[in-house]
Chains A and B, each alone.
Chain A
Amino acid sequence: MSAILIFMAGLAAVAIWWLTQQRLTAKPWLEAGSTDAFPRTEAPAIEPAKLGVGVLLAVIGAMFMLLVSAYFMRMAYADWQAPPMPRVLWVNTAMLALASVALQCAVTAAHGGQLGNLRLALAIGTLASLAFLGGQLVAWRDLSAGGYFAIDNPAISFFYMMTALHGLHILGGLVALGRTDLRAWRSAPAGRLTLSVELCALYWHGLFVVWLVLFAVLMGWAADFIDICRQLLS
């Protein structure tokens, strides 16, 4: 359970930092302001929707870190045999990175009100994401063609399950991104698209980071890294 605990510690650090900004030591029973003035609410001045996506990403992150925890726990058993990872995963990683970058460009374009650039960036982002999903399917086909099915070994089961869950989250994001695309092509003013584009970009960055962690775990680097840490400590 160390992976999830580290993740939780990270969240706790953010929460503690935030709480320290909130005047939690205030004594509300002694507070008095003049009658027409009142303390500000101290509500963070960001869009509620962005905060919502941020919280959602924390939840998604917790879920995948729990999977990673389970992966490491199960790995310690004798029957564990990791399959050779399909090479197409490298291409897929590049595709998702491209999608993330493209959506960030879309944010810049939306802020600048450049509808042409916005459409181009959105198109690249959407297509790269679809390419990522297609690539994941190719990876599944490669594995099963090599005779690695989900039930043969827990390492393979984990591969199918983690990629499937991650893919489903990308698919869910594509629904939102698709709606944004439609609005961009119906020539809604770029300014009004800003929030949607920003939300998509935020979600994509989050899922890209999740994928990088999963990729490192599935490729075995994370386990190697932990081994090195253990040796250093002992």
Chain B
Amino acid sequence: MVDVTPHGADFIPPAEVAEVELYHPHSWWTKYVFSQDAKVIAIQYSGTALAIGLVALVLSWLMRLQLAFPGTFDFITPEAYYQFMTMHGMIMVIYLLTALFLGGFGNYLIPLMVGARDMAFPYVNMLSYWIYLLAVLVLVGGFFAPGGPTGAGWTLYPPQAITSGTPGGSDWGIIVMLASLILFIIGFTMGGLNYVVTVLQGRTRGMTLMRLPLTVWGIFTATVMALLAFPALFVACVMMLFDRVIGSSFFMPAIVEMGEQSPHSGGSPIMFQHLFWFFGHPEVYIVALPAFGIVSDLISTHARKNIFGYRMMVWAIVGIGALSFVVWAHHMYVSGMHPYFGFFFATTTLIIAVPTAIKVYNWVLTLWRGDIHLTLPMLFALAFIVTFVNGGLTGLFLGNVVVDVPLSDTMFVVAHFHMVMGVAPILVVFGAIYHWYPKITGRMLNEAMGRFHFWVTFVGAYLIFFPMHYVGLVGVPRRYPELGETAFIPPSVHTLNEFITIAALTVGFAQMVFLFNLIWSIRHGKEAGDNPWRATTLEWQTASTPPPHGNFGKELPVVHRWAYDYSVPGAPQDFIAQNDPWQPTGGRE
């Protein structure tokens, strides 16, 4: 045992944080709408993200219908298909996953888990949400703009993004998209400042960095990465707006369009790719790191066992965060680059597999001889591990230049990234919602509906994306709305496409059951009590559920231990809360 009793002049924050420091709501509007309470903001963020995610889900159905039954649906023209594809990708990556993990879970969990009353700057936090909402509304506005939303693909590569052949390229679509992204980044930066400063400054007494739950570590590191990566997207968006609106030539080379010379000359499309992927690759881990953190806590809690290798988990999170800034060009192997560059980026890409694999081993070793409860959160966490390993392995294929070049722009890539950063983080989102819903509403989600949702989603996701790898391996290109009569594509691909579509529609239906469950259980769910999972972290130790404004009672909790004291020998219960002063030798004092 290491004695960590403070000596001498160590700084100890006060036990009571004055209530006057909090802005208390005075009216219905400031309590539920323009609220500065991080928990309300979290619910606003999550609700908005899920709502816009529903739009993206419907778009994916339309795309799948077109791929399986080309020509059946008159309104899905090739232009419309590209618009659906672009909006689906953009919404899912940025407006759903990033917003939900950082804006939703970050806002709800950070103050509660570190033992703070609220975020460091509640007013800025509120602004963050409203700017995010504005960004979402502007994005949706694209559907109503003349010419419809942009169809440039979620990567928005120039020159095609702003030429007349691309839907929305010479209309409003691309402008609306860029404006929405710029707003999102401004809004996110406001929120991100809050998350970082709250983790650094808002921790309660005894909550050292190495006693933080891994959820907080994941969200914190992802936020730092997002704060540094999003400026790259911001800069790229501003420069592309210049190119599109006033005709400058940052990215645009000289182009003859419909027999007419465009005003541009000499620009570099590759420069956009560098800027975009300098944001785009860290973005993968901005989504993945919070998922890593959350899944660690879910597994530890529901296997009633301390997390294996906590220190290594923290180091791995930080290491992955740092490494992910030096791998961006592996998205650009086919753009042409110096062979040594390709070698460098392939090496860094494969090195990331090391800390990632450490995490996977640690999750599995946490499960080893644990008292595994197959609750809904645990089912989703287990499904995540399997899916993440699956998607990660194909990532090792694609990280190598020689393998990537033939597979690039095939459905294999689509299957890979949907597995690793689509399905896997979404499974964690579901697991986390089943886990924390009792704290947010005071009631459990319906178990039967939850199990139906889990099995259909988990099995269905594999039925969708596993065959898609094979479709890609035979060379079916991505981004094609229709395959037509092509010699190298066997008829079985068409059959598989129909199969995938039916699976996708079924999985989509299961999500409706989930949404129904979310609403139904608010009134009809089983009463949860304060700590239904018998978990150790501070958010479960609040005096009432849902926690009031200010989170804790008069005094902030005092942290005596790390977040993973499950099944400690000799302890009165199979968990010891972080604020429980129990000692193994003398017992409770």
Mark A residues whose CB is within 8 Å of B: 1, 4-5, 8, 11-12, 19, 22-45, 48-49, 51-52, 55-56, 58-59, 62-63, 66-67, 69-70, 73-74, 77-79, 150-151, 154, 157-158, 161, 165
Determine how close the nearest CB of chain A comes to the CB of B532; give it in whole angstroms.
25
Given known pairs A44-B201, A154-B250, the reply for A70 and B228 (CB within 8 Å) is no
B13 and A39 within 8 A (CB): no
Binds A, one of B68-76, B87-95, B206-214, B510-518: B206-214
Residues on A with C-beta less than 8 A from B487 are: none
Cβ–Cβ contact B227 & A59, under 8 A = yes
B196 within 8 A of A: yes
**Structural contact, A38 and B206, CB atoms closer than 8 A:** yes
Known contacts A35-B581, A62-B231, A28 near B562 by CB under 8 Å: yes
* Contact B6–A48 (Cβ < 8 Å): no
Q: Which residues of B contact A66 (CB under 8 A)?
A: 231-232, 235, 275, 278
A165 x B238 contact (CB < 8 A): yes
B242 touches A157 (CB 8 A): yes
Name the residue in A31, A38, A73, A157 with the highest tally of chain B Cβ atoms < 10 Å from its Cβ: A38
Bitwise, B123-157 to A at CB < 8 A (1) or not (0) is 00000000000000000000000000000000000
- Cβ contact within 8 Å between B228 and A59: yes
Which residues of the other chain, B, contact A151 by a CB distance below 8 angstroms? Answer: 246-249, 263
For this complex, 15 residue pairs linking A to B, each with C-beta atoms less than 8 Å apart, are A27-B2, A31-B1, A32-B3, A35-B581, A37-B5, A38-B4, A38-B6, A39-B206, A40-B11, A41-B207, A51-B197, A55-B193, A77-B267, A79-B266, A157-B248
Q: In the bound complex, do residue A28 and residue B310 qualify as a contact, i.e. CB atoms below 8 Å apart? A: yes
Whether A24 contacts B13 by the Cβ 8 Å rule is no
What distance in Å separates the Cβ of A167 from its nearest Cβ neighbour in chain B? 14
New contact pairs (14) apart from A38-B559, A59-B189, A154-B248, CB-CB < 8 Å: A19-B318, A23-B208, A26-B311, A31-B211, A33-B560, A40-B10, A41-B203, A43-B202, A51-B201, A52-B193, A73-B274, A74-B268, A151-B247, A161-B242
- What distance in Å separates the Cβ of A51 from its nearest Cβ neighbour in chain B? 5
CA A150 – CA B12 in complex, angstroms? 56
**With the chains together, A161 CA to B235 CA distance in Å?**
10
Query: Are the C-beta atoms of B197 and A26 separated by less than 8 Å?
Result: no
Chain A proximity of B109: nearest CB distance (Å): 18
Q: Measured between alpha carbons, how far is A23 from B208 in the docked complex, in Å?
A: 9
Residue of A nearest to B203 (CB): A41
Report which residue of A36, A44, A63, A69 has the largest number of chain B beta carbons within 10 angstroms of its beta carbon: A63
Given contacts A24-B314, A31-B1, A73-B268, contact A150 B246 (CB under 8 A): yes
B32 touches A (CB below 8 Å): no
- CB of A24 within 8 A of CB of B209, answer yes
Q: How far is the CA of A82 from the CA of B544 in the complex (A)?
A: 65
Residues of B within 8 A of A56 (CB): 189, 193
Query: Does the CB pair A33–B5 fall under 8 Å?
Result: yes
* Interface check B459, CB cutoff 8 A: no
Q: Which one of B11, B193, B562 contacts A45 once the chains associate, using CB atoms below 8 Å?
A: B11
Q: Given A55-B196, A58-B227: A32 and B235 within 8 A (CB)?
A: no
Question: For the complex, is B121 an interface residue (Cβ under 8 Å from A)?
Answer: yes
Chain A residues closer than 8 Å to B318, beta-carbon distance: 19
Q: In the bound complex, how far is the Cα of B221 from the Cα of A141, in angstroms?
A: 44
Interface status of B234 (Cβ within 8 A of chain A): yes
Check A48 against B120 for contact (C-beta < 8 Å).
yes
Q: In chain B, what residue has the closest Cβ to A63? A: B231
Residues of the B chain whose Cβ atoms lie less than 8 Å from the Cβ of A165: 238
Q: Is the CB of A29 within 8 A of B562?
A: yes
- A39–B248 Cα distance when bound, in Å, is 57
Once the chains are docked, how many angstroms separate the CA of A28 from the CA of B234?
40
- Please measure, in the bound complex, the distance between the C-alpha atom of A35 and the C-alpha atom of B206, giving whole angstroms: 11
Contacts of A1 in B (CB 8 A): 274, 278
Which one of B3, B231, B263 has the greatest number of beta carbons of chain A within 10 Å? B231
Q: Is B335 in the interface zone, CB < 8 Å from A?
A: no
Assembled-state Cα–Cα distance A5/B242 (Å) = 25
A27 surroundings in chain B (CB, below 8 A)? 2, 311
Find the A residue at minimum CB distance from B227: A59
Q: Establish whether residues B209 and A33, one from each chain, have CB atoms under 8 Å apart when the complex forms.
A: no
Provide the residues of chain B in CB contact with A59, threshold 8 Å: 189, 192, 227-228, 231
Q: Mark B241-285, 1 if CB is under 8 A from A, else 0.
A: 010001111100000000000010111100100110010000000
| Contacts of B1-42 to chain A: CB distance below 8 A | 1-6, 10-13
- Contact assessment for B560 and A38 in the assembled complex, using a CB-CB cutoff below 8 Å: yes
Contacts of B310 in A (CB 8 A): 28-29
Is B435 in contact with chain A by the CB < 8 A criterion? no
Q: Which residues of B contact A58 (CB under 8 A)?
A: 227-228
Q: How far is the CB of A195 from chain B (nearest CB, A)?
A: 13
CB <8 Å contact, A29 and B306: yes
Q: Does B485 contact A (CB under 8 A)?
A: no
Whether B228 pairs with A62 at a CB distance below 8 angstroms is: yes
B57 beta carbon closer than 8 Å to chain A: no
Q: Which 3 residue pairs across A and B have the least CB separation, nearest first? A: A38-B206, A79-B266, A28-B562
Can you name the residue of chain B whose Cβ is closest to the Cβ of A34?
Answer: B5
Nearest B residue to A28 via CB reads B562
Chain B residues near A32 (CB-CB < 8 A) = 1-4, 583-584
Whether A41 contacts B249 in the complex (CB less than 8 A), given A35-B589, A70-B271, comes out as no
A residues near B364, Cβ cutoff 8 Å: none
Decide yes or no: A52 and B189 within 8 Å by CB, A31-B4, A39-B4, A39-B206 being known contacts: no
Are B234 and A22 interface neighbours, CB within 8 A? no
